[in-house]
Amino acid sequence: MSMKTIEQERAKFCIEQVKDRKQDKKYKSAAKSLPAFIVSNGLIPTLAFYKSKEDKKDVYNAINEWLKNRGFVKSDDALKWLVESDFQTLRLATIEALAIANWLKRIVEVEIVEVEIKDQADDKKQKGLGKV
């Protein structure tokens, strides 16, 4: 069995999360804003916000799954677990969540980009800007 770096594991996980979402603009938007939300608001408020919004819940589920698989969360709900955790656990989980959030952002930018390009071309045609 070959060994993989943590970066390879993160990338693979994110690719798996996005592979069936080639046209999901809401998922892309939620994933792209996730790192900034974590940095500016903290992990717990960000998880609470993402869990509460229907269009962001799939991104919450991805982060929840990753933190659980990596051993940062020892229950089925990252939010509930981290609210009850000590500072060190929360700090480490935040670092890991930010790392996976950055990978998720990179992957959605690559994998979901085709739909946006087509939509932009359609917008330009509708505005009478000719060929794109």
Q: Is 22 a domain residue? A: no
Domain count for the chain, please give it: 1
Position with higher pLDDT, 119 vs 101:
101
What confidence tens digit (pLDDT) does each residue in 37-48 have?
999 999 999 999
| 25 class by beta-carbon count within 10 Å (0-12 exposed, 13-18 middle, 19+ buried) | middle
pLDDT computed for residue 116 by the predictor: 43
The 3-state DSSP class for residue 103 equals: helix
Q: Is 5 a domain residue? A: no
Compute the distance between CA of residue 55 and CA of residue 43 in angstroms, rounded to an integer.
18
With beta carbons less than 8 A apart as the criterion, state whether 119 and 84 touch.
no
Q: Is 38 a domain residue? A: yes
What confidence tens digit (pLDDT) does each residue in 14-32 have?
999 999 888 899 999 999 9
Quick one: which of 3, 11, 127 has its CA closest to 66?
Answer: 11
Compute the distance between CA of residue 107 and CA of residue 122 in angstroms, rounded to an integer.
24
The 3-state DSSP class for residue 55 equals: coil
Q: What percentage of the chain carries pLDDT values higher than 90?
A: 77
Q: Is 23 a domain residue? A: no
pTM of the model: 0.82
Compute the distance between CA of residue 129 and CA of residue 36 in angstroms, rounded to an integer.
34
CATH number at residue 53: 1.10.520.30
Q: What percentage of the chain carries pLDDT values higher than 70?
A: 84
Q: Kindly provide the residue ranges of all beta strands, DSSP E only, lying in 4-53, ordered along the sequence.
A: none
pLDDT computed for residue 130 by the predictor: 55
DSSP structure class, residue 123 = H
pLDDT computed for residue 112 by the predictor: 85
Q: Is 81 a domain residue? A: yes
Q: Is 74 a domain residue? A: yes
Q: Is 7 a domain residue? A: no
Q: Is 8 a domain residue? A: no
What confidence tens digit (pLDDT) does each residue in 102-130 have?
999 999 999 886 544 556 656 666 666 65
